[in-house]
Amino acid sequence: LAKTTQPISMDSYEGQEVNITCSHNNIATNDYITWYQQFPSQGPRFIIQGYKTKVTNEVASLFIPADRKSSTLSLPRVSLSDTAVYYCLVGALFSGGYNKLIFGAGTRLAVHP
């Protein structure tokens, strides 16, 4: 299983773009990269998933370089409500029909007024 490394914490201000980078040097060929957001006393919430290049949805963008050894979650124009812990996961749906997804420590993002 690919191990992930993220910054422990980040600070930003309302209206700024925030980029959180995750390293996953031993990512496997069939692994996907998935990001989650967690607020206190709630379960993590799926944000975005990608395999390579760039993926964008209504919430965020995910940039994955060609070697796939890292990925960057980009949150445009953050607000106070984006203050949360963000997790990067790397895993795959195996041919046997299961996947085992391990969370790292996550990045605690604090957005200030």
DSSP string, 7-42: -SEEEEETT--EEEEEE-TT--TT-EEEEEEE-TTS
Asked if 110 is part of the footprint of another protein (rule: CB under 8 A), the reply reads no
58 forms part of the interface with another protein (CB under 8 A): no
- Min CB(85)–another protein separation in Å: 8
Answer for which of 34, 37, 70, 71 binds another protein (CB under 8 A) is 34
Q: Closest distance between another protein and the C-beta of residue 64, in Å?
A: 14
Coil, helix or strand at residue 21: strand
Q: Tell me if residue 61 falls in helix, strand or coil.
A: strand
x-marked contacts with another protein along 73-102 as a string, rule CB under 8 A: --------------x-x-xxx--xxxxxxx
66 binds another protein (CB under 8 A): no
Take residue 5 and report the two structure tokens written for it.
Answer: 């490394």
Please count the other Cβ atoms lying within 10 Å of the Cβ belonging to residue 90.
22
- Beta bridge partner(s), residue 23: 5, 70
- Positions touching another protein (CB under 8 A) are 32, 34, 36, 41-46, 49, 87, 89, 91-93, 96-106
